[in-house]
A and B are shown apart, each in its own frame.
Chain A
Amino acid sequence: MSLTAIAAGIAVFTGIGAGIGIGIATAKAVEACSRQPDASGKIMTLLILGGALAEATAIYGFVTALILILTQ
């Protein structure tokens, strides 16, 4: 049990990458919005697309951790 728990914990570390990635993307989007307020609609769309793709890695980590815990 203990080793599986540690493995699941390590798998959830993928969240760090997604968090940093979405943070950078949002920061750049805010910057872009303040420079070009007219384009904010388009920037928002691109931000959500990028956020969704970046978030996928965190979700994979989470699903992996769940599978580790549930199948052991």
Chain B
Amino acid sequence: MLSDLSERIVSEMNTETVFTIPVFGGIGVDEGTVVTWIVMAVMILASFLLTRNLRVDHISKRQAAVELFVTKLEGVVLGVIGPDGQQYAPYLVTVLVYIGFANIMGVFGFKPPTKDLNVTIALAVMSIVLVQAASIRKRRVGGWLKSFAKPLAIVTPFNILDLFTRPLSLCMRLFGNVLGAFVVMILLESFVPVGIPAVFSLYFDFFDGFLQAYVFVFLTSVYIKEAIELSE
């Protein structure tokens, strides 16, 4: 029974190659990519359907709900990043919605794409590139290089180390949390198949999934705010 269980966990944790594109000797397409496509399709379809017939006055209930949703999410990001970072809000909100959606894919019977380390590494690298680009944009290249020696020249090595530890901890946090929740849910389901898993799914899939999406975007916003703050 126990060896069955460990085999099942290992097989669930592996990311399978769904199909192979027959060019350049075969490019494998992972499960995470396919589920990401599903998430993308749903998100694009939803935003397409929800933003039709937008009006300035006499707005429909649908438009009011969408506007409330978008304003709330933007408020979450802008509350951290400040009005200076307005231009980064659309990207951050998109990442927030994507990770939030990806984390609850387990409820619909898919493996969450964020359980795949490749996906979280890509997200973390995108975040850190955006942070550095924001810093260069605000301070120019000279100011960006100088910012590594602030507040004291002696902290320069640590600031450079931060370039690598920040994305590492971002991607590991998201990956570890989602994978941990996933493994716990499998264990629960194999011992108590009915009833109890649904209650715990509320915590592990919804609460933890949305919290981790928020934490990821929140930390990225904090880094961007730090990067675009001009301290003389």
> Are A and B bound to each other?
yes
Neighbouring A residues of B49 by C-beta, 8 Å: none
Q: Is the CB of B176 within 8 A of A49?
A: no
A45 CA to B176 CA, complexed, in Å: 22
Question: Is A13 part of the binding interface, using a Cβ–Cβ cutoff of 8 Å?
Answer: no
Q: Is the CB of A48 within 8 A of B80?
A: no
Q: Is the CB of A52 within 8 A of B80?
A: no
With A66-B179, A70-B10: A60-B219 Cβ-Cβ less than 8 Å: no
Neighbouring A residues of B214 by C-beta, 8 Å: 48
Q: Is the CB of A48 within 8 A of B215?
A: yes
How many chain B residues touch A (CB < 8 A): the figure is 17
Question: Is A59 part of the binding interface, using a Cβ–Cβ cutoff of 8 Å?
Answer: yes
Neighbouring B residues of A63 by C-beta, 8 Å: 172, 175-176
A56 CA to B208 CA, complexed, in Å: 14
Query: 8 Å CB contacts to A: which residues of B150-173?
Result: 169, 172-173
Chain A window 22-50, contacts with chain B (Cβ cutoff 8 Å), 1 for yes, 0 for no: 00000000000000000001000100110
Contact residues of B: prevailing secondary structure:
helix
Interface centre among B13, B80, B173, B219, by most A CB within 10 Å?
Answer: B173
Neighbouring B residues of A59 by C-beta, 8 Å: 172-173, 176-177, 180
Q: Is the CB of B179 within 8 A of A49?
A: no
Q: Is the CB of A62 within 8 A of B176?
A: yes
Question: Is B222 part of the binding interface, using a Cβ–Cβ cutoff of 8 Å?
Answer: yes
Question: Is B218 part of the binding interface, using a Cβ–Cβ cutoff of 8 Å?
Answer: yes
Neighbouring B residues of A41 by C-beta, 8 Å: 79
B interface vs A, CB < 8 Å?
A: 10, 13, 79-80, 169, 172-173, 175-177, 179-180, 214-215, 218-219, 222
